[in-house]
Structure 1
């Protein structure tokens, strides 16, 4: 139900010919969500007010704070999310280690499975508000496995990653759809989760392309029903049906 992500607000529409009228529009809702790690305040995220457990789990994974196996429990209290860890399994992560992110997956995808993703690139919430992003996971058969809407492209990625881990999906055998631009930061978040392939209807930055190359990830931009631009690791797309 996309309506739960929205709230009606009054506005005054002024036309170029001088006409004016009162109206109501639907705006995307935003709330602050506080994350606590082992009882200590960790960060505050501004997000759509749903899938908060998924947000917390995905954020910690994609930011390289902890792995999923180090999470002992997640509790949601209002807009506060408390994450408990197995402290004995916590590992220290320094910048040198995080700089060497490499997606260890042999997954390849049929072009048809990728083009099928265009069916999921626009949500009903976006149509109502023009103010949201989405992220989705598609398996190698082109089947939708997870679909998340949020006001932020980063939050959408965190939530879809959290959903995958909480549901036990093998994320290394899925590709991720995104409606957002792909700088290095976005690619790195996906790489930390083990996602081998990112496709966006937008475009990457040069930093995103270089990050994808180093991380062993395929990166596609301008995904459309009729074409796509491949920027990195094209070997992840089966070429037996691609005409050159």
Structure 2
């Protein structure tokens, strides 16, 4: 499958000792994806050219535009995704401004008492790299992992936010209980990214990177545990530490 995410490109490699040669490398593909709600243009996302249905559904959910139950149907036509909703057309807010999204995020609270053993989190290190990343060094990854440390869903995309949207949608379409899984991400975690997980009801987010202070503060308010710098030997727990069982 990595070949569906990549495209070969010619390049010239120049070495520090003055040598140079022509070569060919694999780059990650990116394409514009146009979303339509009830026949009206909603937004354009730039993403990897796969799982476009999942991208659209997940984006609407994690941006707070629709709930999963408010989606009546989804059709993909090339790089266009048409979503039919069950809401009154006048009640759908198009192109939700980022500031409005931040304000809405202040009211989000993950109502879950799920706790994870450290072993389940450390197991996430085994799912942090994809074949596509190894080939291109140009993609992000998001995954959902259960309380036993077993991989449930893993998605690759050129955008960290797209990967999150796709993994949330894939899990919901499969009927998974998101409150019993944690999200693993290769990307940094500002408030915007943490809010996406909160809207989906995910109780813990772990990343190999370091979160931003805005992400930590958002996680505290939304009852999410935020783990950063996940490594084989250690991890840093920044918010709602009670979700990691260290007793």
Q: TM-score, normalised by structure 1?
A: 0.95
Task: Name the CA shift for 1:136/1:213 in 2 (closer, same or farther; >3 Å).
Answer: same
The CA distance in 1 between the partners of 2:129 and 2:18, in whole Å, is 34
Shift in alpha-carbon separation, 1:171–1:234, aligned structure 2, 3 A? same
Residue 167 of structure 2 corresponds to 160
1:100-179 equivalent positions in 2, closer than 5 A: 100-179=107-186
Partner of 1:72: 72
Q: Which runs of 5 or more residues in structure 1 are unaligned? A: none
* Correspondence list, 1:1-244, <5 A: 1-88=1-88, 97-240=104-247
- 1:25-49 CA-to-partner distances (Å, cap 9, x unmatched) read 0000001000001110000000000
RMSD over equivalenced CA pairs, Å = 1.5
- The aligned residue for residue 97 of structure 2 is none
1:143, distance to aligned residue in structure 2 (A): 1.0
Distance (whole Å) between structure 2 residues aligned to residue 87 and residue 154 of structure 1: 25
2:106, 2:221 within 8 Å by CA — same for their partners in 1? no
Q: What CA distance in whole angstroms lies between the structure 2 residues aligned with 1:121 and 1:98?
A: 27
Q: 1:34 touches 1:81 (CA, 8 Å); kept in 2?
A: yes
Asked if structure 2 preserves the Cα contact closer than 8 Å seen for 1:148 and 1:156, the reply is yes
5+ residue gaps, structure 2: 94-99
Change (3 A) 1:90 1:213: farther
CA distance in 2: counterparts of 1:122 and 1:181, whole angstroms: 15
The offset of 1:116, in angstroms, is 0.4
- Local SS of the residue matching 2:233: coil
Structure 1 runs of 4+ off > 3 angstroms? 88-98
Q: Structure 1 residues 42 and 12, CA, compared in 2 at 3 Å: closer, same or farther?
A: same
8 A Cα contact 1:134 1:147, kept in partner: yes
Q: How far did 1:238 drift? A: 1.0
Decide whether the 8 Å contact of 1:5 with 1:29 is kept in 2: yes
What is the TM-score when the length of structure 2 is the normalising length? 0.94
- 1:97/1:9 CA distance change after superposition, 3 Å: closer
Q: Deviations over 1:184-238 (max 9, x none)?
A: 1100111111111000000000000000000000000000011000000010011
**CA deviation string 1:5-42 (max 9, x = no partner):** 10000001111111110000000000100000111000
